[in-house]
């Protein structure tokens, strides 16, 4: 056996499906075996994938034991000369594995190798090549200097920012998302250290490969897509905590005790600092940006007025009854002008802030001109203060964008898509979009050759079509296109600020992710489900919690309204713990969005397995519930069937 591939899956069956299609093509002509270790997924991954991929060896874990343990479960079953640890949310090129194996044969000192990874938008992922963690590297990464100076050898040493991403290098650390090792090296290092639950295990294994006398290589000319953000929410504080704790474990294991203690102390302080920054970011993105703008505008106008008094008027204060209310009043007028000009529709755009600010100054001056004569005090203060306020708001937007504290949400509500593929592939994508009720965003098909019928152009004209037709989403179909072709086309288009989606020839879904932190988009044969929307899931959870809390607080009274009040109280506690939901499915279907088991079904009947309607109707009702979900729907079902919240005999 030449190659053994191990993939650990956790609740990403549709991304894994695309991955396995690409792996099957990449192992063509190679004596290979593929293991999928499922870490107790709740989305029925194995049930969904096993019939599609009968040659894949699936290993089902009853518990989620983490990345390292899951890989090691399959490791002792491997018989290949080379072992590849691969993430489920990846797509590999057809020649990737063969080229990697050839590199091993040409470099006898190679113990392990990795490749260049790009995310779902075509952007390079810096963790493709890294150095071992040091105190200074960790500090620069935590405080954001590595982001500000991405190509600096000093400030971005951890991601080796000074090295070109497209060349081959001997490096320290490889990414566990794609890590191929010589079998002899695996036997010497004994695989991943199971002390690490998630993150850090690849750093540790890379270190031990070098300790065993071998080298780690990064192949910049080999590219794979790594969607990221699918198995974990990388932007969350929990990710920060887990990641830097993993670094701390690594340092304690391999560095001197005094250095490790100091490193861990600094890391803990840094995590608290990052927590404050993360909280600040949440406030900005939710509702606090308007308040911050108001504060900036208020002080800009206030200091402009004070400057005017002491410099221009030689210390003489303005007269009039309105003077003391002028700054807060004009601040409110400024913010109203900004609201009307759309500054909060696209938070990320500094230019939008500048335009909104200019509009606000006009509104301010118009408001000022309407005031009675005895309420006016200085056009100069209003004009100059408004301009300064506008510049300060614009500067603040620029800083927030630079540090990624506000997210790009432009044009996400309107997509104009093209499909790159054959006529039959276009039809498959069209059918999926029709099921999701989004076929209106499909502009047409991009053919492989110039002059093809029923196309809006050829792949050679794709860049020009995107620009001229305002296309902001490209669906690549694997079939006529190879995965290698798709990765190459993404590289050519990555600077156009568009979304990429992917559809393998035999699959029944389309997947994509616009950044390494986003949860991505999935369209399946069952259509698009509103219940997959993070907003709807949050609202569902909030409704569950409020109903549960109200029921518990008013429990004695509930004996008058609920048939089995004690059972309802028990259900409320289960819901608070996240183990149940008040309203949900009547039967399990692996194609539906994953939610907790329900007390009441989408039909309104208690979920006790006894229904007066047949299973076909129940399944259709569940599909409709997930597709058209709105939290008000749950509220109506709960209100109508309130007496049965404790279940029914």
pLDDT per 10-residue tile (average), the chain, 649 residues: 95 92 96 95 86 94 85 91 95 97 96 94 90 74 77 83 91 92 90 69 87 94 82 50 61 63 69 65 60 85 87 81 73 74 58 67 73 74 83 82 59 74 93 80 92 92 92 94 95 89 90 68 72 76 88 84 87 89 80 83 77 71 83 87 77
* Token representation of residue 108: 């006898």
Given this model, what pLDDT does residue 43 score? 77
Given this model, what pLDDT does residue 245 score? 60
Given this model, what pLDDT does residue 486 score? 96
DSSP labels for 66-131? -HHHHHHHHHTT---SEEEEE-SSEEE-TTHHHHHHHHHHH-TTEEEEEEEEE-TTS-B-GGGSBP
* Token representation of residue 624: 């409709």
Separation CA 405–CA 389 (nearest Å): 21
Given this model, what pLDDT does residue 240 score? 58
Given this model, what pLDDT does residue 411 score? 41
Separation CA 570–CA 234 (nearest Å): 34
Separation CA 641–CA 291 (nearest Å): 42
Task: Note the helical H segments in 255-317.
Answer: 257-283, 289-307
Phi, psi of 221 (to 5 degrees): -90, 0
Q: Which residue has the tokens 């309104």?
A: 604
In sequence order, the β-bridge partners of residue 225 are: 91, 118
Phi, psi of 190 (to 5 degrees): 65, 30
- Beta-strand ranges (E) seen in 442-490 are 442-447, 457-458, 473-477
Given this model, what pLDDT does residue 128 score? 92
- Beta-strand ranges (E) seen in 472-547 are 473-477, 499-503, 509-512, 521-524
Distance of CA 253 to the CA centre of its chain: 31
Separation CA 225–CA 372 (nearest Å): 64
* Token representation of residue 325: 């209310």
Look at strands 3-9 and 82-86 and give their pairing. parallel
Separation CA 185–CA 213 (nearest Å): 9
Separation CA 29–CA 45 (nearest Å): 27
CB 400 within 8 A of CB 406: yes
Cβ-in-10-Å burial (0-12, 13-18, 19+) of 294 comes to middle
Separation CA 555–CA 569 (nearest Å): 7
Separation CA 487–CA 95 (nearest Å): 12
CB 52 within 8 A of CB 87: no
Separation CA 32–CA 38 (nearest Å): 20
Separation CA 162–CA 127 (nearest Å): 13
Identify the CA nearest to 45 among candidates 3, 4, 94, 89: 89
CB atoms within 10 A of CB 269: 11
**Residues whose CB is less than 8 angstroms from the CB of residue 616 and which lie 6 or more positions away in sequence, other chains included:** none
Q: What is the DSSP letter of 639?
A: H
Identify the CA nearest to 129 among candidates 192, 194, 178, 185: 178
Separation CA 315–CA 431 (nearest Å): 73
Identify the CA nearest to 357 among candidates 325, 329, 331, 394: 394
Given this model, what pLDDT does residue 447 score? 94
Separation CA 325–CA 553 (nearest Å): 45
Per-residue b or e along 538-564, where b marks 16 or more CB atoms closer than 10 Å to that residue's CB: ebbbebbeebbeebeeeeeebeeebbb
CB 99 within 8 A of CB 217: no
462: enclosing H helix or E strand: helix 462-468
Per-residue b or e along 33-44, where b marks 16 or more CB atoms closer than 10 Å to that residue's CB: bbbbbbbebebb
CB 247 within 8 A of CB 203: yes
Separation CA 278–CA 262 (nearest Å): 24
Separation CA 337–CA 359 (nearest Å): 6
* Token representation of residue 436: 């999701």
Given this model, what pLDDT does residue 176 score? 87
Rg of the chain in Å (alpha carbons): 29
Report the predicted TM-score, pTM, of the whole model to 2 decimal places: 0.67
In sequence order, the β-bridge partners of residue 9 are: 38
Given this model, what pLDDT does residue 16 score? 95
The alpha carbon torsion through 420, 474, 118, 64 (nearest 10 deg) reads -100
Phi, psi of 618 (to 5 degrees): -60, -45
CB 555 within 8 A of CB 547: no
């Amino acid at each position: 056996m030449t190659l053994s591939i191990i993939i650990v899956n956790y609740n990403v069956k549709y991304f894994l499906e695309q991955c396995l299609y690409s792996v099957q093509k990449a192992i063509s002509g190679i004596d290979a075996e593929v293991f999928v270790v499922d870490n107790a997924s709740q989305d029925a991954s194995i049930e969904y994938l096993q019939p599609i991929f009968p040659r894949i060896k699936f290993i089902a874990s009853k518990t989620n034991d983490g990345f390292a343990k899951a890989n090691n479960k399959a490791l002792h079953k491997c018989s290949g000369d080379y072992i590849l640890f691969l993430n489920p949310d990846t797509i590999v090129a057809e020649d990737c594995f063969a080229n990697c194996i050839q590199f091993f044969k040409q470099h006898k000192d190679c113990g392990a190798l990795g490749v260049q990874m790009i995310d779902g938008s075509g952007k390079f992922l810096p963790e493709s090549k890294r150095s071992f963690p040091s105190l200074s590297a960790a500090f620069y990464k935590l405080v954001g200097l590595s982001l500000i100076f991405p190509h600096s050898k000093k400030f971005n040493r951890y991601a080796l920012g000074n090295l070109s991403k497209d060349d081959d290098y001997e490096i320290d650390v490889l990414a566990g998302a794609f890590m191929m090792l010589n079998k002899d090296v695996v036997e010497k290092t004994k695989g991943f250290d199971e002390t690490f639950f998630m993150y850090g295990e690849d750093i540790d294994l890379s270190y031990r490969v070098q300790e065993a006398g071998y080298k780690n290589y990064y192949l910049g000319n080999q590219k794979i897509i790594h969607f990221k953000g699918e198995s974990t929410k990388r932007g969350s504080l929990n990710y920060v905590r887990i990641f830097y704790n993993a670094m701390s474990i690594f340092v304690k294991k391999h560095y001197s005790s005094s250095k490790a203690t100091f490193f861990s102390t600094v890391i803990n302080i840094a995590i608290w600092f990052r927590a404050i920054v993360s909280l600040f970011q949440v406030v900005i993105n939710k509702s606090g940006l308007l308040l911050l703008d108001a504060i900036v505008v208020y002080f800009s106008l206030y200091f402009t007025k004070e400057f005017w008094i002491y410099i221009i008027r030689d210390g003489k204060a303005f007269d009039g009854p309105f003077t003391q209310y002028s700054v807060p009043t004009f601040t409110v007028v400024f913010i109203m002008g900004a609201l009307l000009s759309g500054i909060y529709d696209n938070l990320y755009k500094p230019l939008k802030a500048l335009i909104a600010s200019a509009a606000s100054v006009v509104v301010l001056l118009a408001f000022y001109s309407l005031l009675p004569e005895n309420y006016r005090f200085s056009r100069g203060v209003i004009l100059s203060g408004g301009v300064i306020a506008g510049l300060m708001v614009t500067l603040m937007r620029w800083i927030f964008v630079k540090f990624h504290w506000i997210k790009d949400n432009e044009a996400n509500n309107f997509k104009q898509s093209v499909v790159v593929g054959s006529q039959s592939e276009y039809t498959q994508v069209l059918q999926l979009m029709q099921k999701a009720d989004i076929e209106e965003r499909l502009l047409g098909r991009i053919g492989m050759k110039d002059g093809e019928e029923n196309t809006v152009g050829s792949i050679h004209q794709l860049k020009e079509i995107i620009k001229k037709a305002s296309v902001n989403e490209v669906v690549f179909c694997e079939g006529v296109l190879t995965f290698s072709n798709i990765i190459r086309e993404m590289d050519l288009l990555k600077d156009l600020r568009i979304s990429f989606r992917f559809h393998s020839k035999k699959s029944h879904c389309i997947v994509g992710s616009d950044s390494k932190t986003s949860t991505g988009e999935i369209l399946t044969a069952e259509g698009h489900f509103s219940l997959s929307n993070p907003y709807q899931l949050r609202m569902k959870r909030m409704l569950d919690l409020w109903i549960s809390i109200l029921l518990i607080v008013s429990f004695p009274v509930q004996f008058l309204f609920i048939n089995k009040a004690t059972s309802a109280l028990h259900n409320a506690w289960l819901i608070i713990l996240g183990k149940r939901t008040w309203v949900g499915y009547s039967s399990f279907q692996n194609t539906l969005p994953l939610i907790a088991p329900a007390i009441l079904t989408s039909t309104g009947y208690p979920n006790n397995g006894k229904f007066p309607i047949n299973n076909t109707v129940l399944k259709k009702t569940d599909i409709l519930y997930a597709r058209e979900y709105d939290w008000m729907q749950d509220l109506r079902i709960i209100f109508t069937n309130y007496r049965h919240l404790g279940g029914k005999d």
